[in-house]
Amino acid sequence: MSDTAGVLPDALKILVAGGFGAGKTTLVAALSEVESLHTEELITAESIGVDDLLGVEAKTTTTVALDFGRISLDERTVIYMFGTPGQRRFSFMWEELAEGALGAIVLADTRRLEDCFETIDFFEQRQVPFIVAVNCFNGVRSHLPGDVRIALDVDSGVPVMLCDARERESVKRVMIELVSHVLELELSGA
């Protein structure tokens, strides 16, 4: 709606994906200018496979919470960072989250790298640009990015870096790495 374009800011959407406990909410909170917000979407039997409902207490509807944060770059530009549930049973949300996303940060916990596989597959299929950020708890760099790259089997063009999701400057570096990666793709015509 062009008549409102001069009034309302343009939004960029960045996804923060990763398994349960990988530090998504922490990473979003490290940079968000507002206290981390959360919204909900209803899960219905149509949203997810009937099989997936087994083990979810046989409920036919429930809700999934999405944590997100906001960063105003200037009066005209705002970034929203959405924590993206990594579990397969939330995959019905991935399509909507991916639509219009500038890119994604896959936050990896080296104790449970397998939690990243499904979201990485999804981003590759949907051609959502992504980088992998290995969250180093307690500052212990127990894994080298190269090892994680091999373990996750990501394309050589995908940046893999270490980060501390609690540290604002570290999260800024992750964000800059992601947008730089998107810029490279843009310049290469990908």
Partner 1 sequence: MSVTPGDGFGDGGGRLIRPYSLTGGRTRPSRSDFAMTSQVVAVPMMRRAVELEPEHRAILVECARPASVAEISARVRLPLGVLRILLADLLDGGHVMVHESTWQRERPDAQTLRSVIDRIRAL
Segment near partner 1 (CB under 8 A); pick from 15-23, 66-74, 109-117, 157-165: 66-74
Segment near partner 1 (CB under 8 A); pick from 99-107, 118-126, 136-144, 147-155: 99-107
Binding of partner 1 by 8 (CB under 8 A):
yes
Angstrom distance (rounded) from CA 67 to CA 170 = 20
Which of 68, 90, 94, 123 is close enough to bind partner 1 by CB under 8 A?
68
Strand spans (E) along the chain: 10-18, 37-43, 62-74, 77-85, 101-108, 130-135, 160-163
Angstrom distance (rounded) from CA 156 to CA 61 = 41
Give every CB contact of residue 96 below 8 A, 6+ residues apart in sequence: none
Residues that bind partner 1 (CB under 8 A): 1, 3-5, 7-13, 31, 37-42, 63, 66, 68, 70-71, 73-74, 77-80, 82, 96-97, 99-100, 102, 172, 175-176, 179-180, 182-183, 186-187
